[in-house]
Structure 1
């Protein structure tokens, strides 16, 4: 368009020039070789323009003749290159679609039309074709050739990284990723793999440096950056909690400031502060996180954080903590456990019942078992609650990719991904639709230790409760008892669970026995002996620090 406008402007200028000369008559006289030439100015201008046009035409013809062979050669080379790129494009599409035959055919055609040194993508097509054919050794050789070429080095490292992951060579994969991130820090896959490598090695400072690079290159937003930094700082604090308490305290406090609802950060900061004898600050941190995210570990640290507190003091702490986030299962259970230690069994039962109304779970039944053990010592009822704990939904634990851990970990031990552990039930299970389990709790509380048979108690079971193993976070003192109950053969006849039988109780039928009587020659004798009497400690006892 611009050329057309320029051409029109030039024609217009020439027309105006000739018109101007025509309106102004004059003569041009030239003497040359004894001859005198006299013409008008307009004719002279026309002759000059014609001479210039002829000269330009002659130059164009001579140039076309001189450069003709080169032009013809470039035309055929361009046509050959276009055919090669067309074959390369078709081959890449075929490789992406999984058509190994067409990809191989197009690769061979493109290799004939395009030189490899001119188009490095031929290596990529060759590698993709080899992968489709299952020749991983050939694919790796192609990726290595690409990694040696500065133009395709990143692409080659990416291919080698994926091949190493496929072969299960995680160490080699992370080495390739570190090389890639050194060349191009903005690569998300490379920086992520390099960070996972540093986390696996426990080099938290280097992992934090990589995270800062991710933020600088805008790979992560502010929210994700704060979360990941809190995770890495918490991991750093945990690793230094024993040998460098000052570093642990500083790191944990920064992590808590970044994400106040992150339970591991708050718990680690509280432990570090308690070791430094800063109890009040530790309690403030625990209260802040509890308001946002109640968790049993926070309750344990808050209630039993000060070693000099008595049972009554721990109960008051549990009640104060529960008021910060009322009507929550963990708060009710914390009060129930503290009340057991303080001998306030009515308070313990009321709070255990409140937790049960929020949903039956394994730890709730274990608290009921502790109440019966400490208050009455009735092993029949203890075993009854343990039997219900076996069939109840498992209590929450730290879960990542199906891996269940009794403590939080900064990365998955299965694939190395960061911040994947969640606090949830290891096995998802539908909760009962009614409150029959709560009715069972009321029954035990109201009957005042009267006799109750197992078939009568079974009427309070939820119809859809399924049996399952206890989680690894269950109290250690109940594991043997629960395992024995699961191994014990079931009987269809009712068994009296009360140890004290009134005089008007009909005599036992032959073959019936008390639940605590192992019997003689019974097939479940080994399982019965495995049931040991629970200790007088509460289910959550133990060293918190």
Structure 2
């Protein structure tokens, strides 16, 4: 619209000028090199305009000829850059798609066309990685270390390559440098921490974790749980060489994350010999309040070796009262009731647990023990048989057949850093590996309950074992088909309980 207005205005202006010149013809004369010319003003004005136009065309052609080489050079450079960026685009797409050979070819083409060494080296390194050529990628990353602009990304690439090779020392070295140079690179914190955990360097991992938390590169809750696992693992490493330092670390771990049962159990084991029973008991009760675990109850029961059976039972009742609704608390009350001979109370607490889904091997063994104490050998055998086929409990598998709590390997502790640290859940390696868990009863019972059936057998009264073999009673062995009582099922119960086995 504006252009149309301008064109119309120009036409009107030309018409006005033409009319003025036509209405006022006038004359024009000039002399040049002895040549005298006289003509009308209109003709002279027209010649002047034509001459001016020709002069403009002439100088425009001169300008075109003068600037043609530079324009040609710029055009060639622009076309070259355009081809380079096209090659760069193809290389990036091929690298992301996993087409390593295509990425390498296009990266080489982009390197030849673009005058950007940093970009070309980075692209070449990525392409080599996509092609699986780790040595080539490593060479490109090492060359990028010379440029301050690409030094950080080069460290990341070298750390990643070292991690893929399983070279944790090299990974930690590159990540450590990047972590010191950049305060905002989250990858440096993660790579350094992971490498230190993979090496089992708990102390260094704790220092890195503290710095990462200070930089807000990890959530406070995750950092707290990870720290608890690291402190516990570090305490275990010092248990045989520096028990004082180990006890301090374990105590700090239990205070950092009360819900982490291994820390509280280890702290109690280390504080007990130092006669710091009150402090150990406080840590165990705090752990039970946060997350009940059978290993905590065992640690509390074994805390004071000089305690009487009644005192141990009372302490366990107090522990159960902290979380009365929890399953582990109910099991503690069952064992305490059995200890006091209150079989009715024990059965009243046990029956609802047995009715809650499929009874586990631990509950089945506990029911077998209770039936044996009540003198019902047939019921005891039935529950013993069910225990041999019942599923195990993940928490109870954390106690092995010798009664040791959380007998984890170094690799298990490395995994625990992330399972508990990031997810807040315990790892159960023995349960995952289908190892025979520690028996529920009677071998690993917290309280040694009386065994009247055994007493009768030892006294020579075998009348309780003369029940005939029943078709639906697989608990009776073929060697005991006569019902003479020599194989009374106690050995089977011991086997199910995990006595002397792994």
Q: TM range, normalised to the smaller chain?
A: 0.5 to 0.7
- Counterpart residue number, 1:361: 360
- Counterpart residue number, 2:437: 472
SS at match of 1:128: helix
Mapped contact 1:398–1:423 kept (Cα < 8 A): no
Pair 305,312 (structure 1): closer, same or farther in 2 beyond 3 Å: same
Mapped contact 2:365–2:493 kept (Cα < 8 A): no
SS at match of 1:219: coil
Mapped contact 2:103–2:130 kept (Cα < 8 A): no
Mapped contact 1:369–1:382 kept (Cα < 8 A): yes
Gaps of 5+ in 1: 1-64, 430-467, 480-497, 521-527
- Counterpart residue number, 2:87: 87
Pair 179,305 (structure 1): closer, same or farther in 2 beyond 3 Å: same
Spell out, residue by residue over 1:470-514, the C-alpha distance to the aligned partner (whole angstroms, 9 max, x if none): 6434459889xxxxxxxxxxxxxxxxxx8333xxx7x989xx998
SS at match of 2:426: strand
Pair 312,358 (structure 1): closer, same or farther in 2 beyond 3 Å: farther
Pair 216,319 (structure 1): closer, same or farther in 2 beyond 3 Å: closer
Distance (Å, rounded) in 1 between the aligned partners of 2:137 and 2:314: 67
Distance (Å, rounded) in 2 between the aligned partners of 1:241 and 1:427: 22
- Counterpart residue number, 2:234: 236
Gaps of 5+ in 2: 1-64, 399-403, 445-463, 482-486
* TM-score w.r.t. length of structure 1: 0.61
* TM-score w.r.t. length of structure 2: 0.65
- Counterpart residue number, 2:308: 310
Distance (Å, rounded) in 1 between the aligned partners of 2:407 and 2:288: 17
Matched, 1:113 2:78: no
- Counterpart residue number, 2:491: 532
Pair 212,357 (structure 1): closer, same or farther in 2 beyond 3 Å: same
Distance (Å, rounded) in 1 between the aligned partners of 2:267 and 2:99: 57
Pair 111,96 (structure 1): closer, same or farther in 2 beyond 3 Å: same
Mapped contact 1:124–1:143 kept (Cα < 8 A): yes
- Counterpart residue number, 1:35: none
Mapped contact 2:294–2:395 kept (Cα < 8 A): no
- Counterpart residue number, 1:97: 97
| Alignment counterpart, residue 332 of structure 1, candidates 330, 333, 351 | 330
Distance (Å, rounded) in 1 between the aligned partners of 2:235 and 2:365: 33
**Which is further off, 219-228 or 160-169?**
160-169
Matched, 1:518 2:479: yes
Pair 224,470 (structure 1): closer, same or farther in 2 beyond 3 Å: closer
Distance (Å, rounded) in 1 between the aligned partners of 2:91 and 2:179: 30
- Counterpart residue number, 1:124: 122
Greater share of helix residues, 1 or 2? 2
- Counterpart residue number, 2:466: 500
Cα RMSD over matched residues?
4.6
- Counterpart residue number, 1:287: 285
Distance (Å, rounded) in 1 between the aligned partners of 2:81 and 2:391: 67
Q: CA deviation at 1:308?
A: 1.5
SS at match of 2:419: coil
Pair 387,157 (structure 1): closer, same or farther in 2 beyond 3 Å: farther
Spell out, residue by residue over 1:78-112, the C-alpha distance to the aligned partner (whole angstroms, 9 max, x if none): 65345423432332133213344653443233122
Distance (Å, rounded) in 1 between the aligned partners of 2:405 and 2:104: 52
Pair 331,167 (structure 1): closer, same or farther in 2 beyond 3 Å: same
Distance (Å, rounded) in 1 between the aligned partners of 2:268 and 2:391: 30
- Counterpart residue number, 1:270: 268
SS at match of 1:423: coil
- Counterpart residue number, 1:205: 203
Q: CA deviation at 1:262?
A: 2.5
SS at match of 2:466: coil
Mapped contact 1:345–1:375 kept (Cα < 8 A): yes
Pair 185,371 (structure 1): closer, same or farther in 2 beyond 3 Å: farther
Distance (Å, rounded) in 2 between the aligned partners of 1:126 and 1:243: 51
**Which is further off, 90-99 or 294-303?**
90-99
Q: CA deviation at 1:219?
A: 0.6
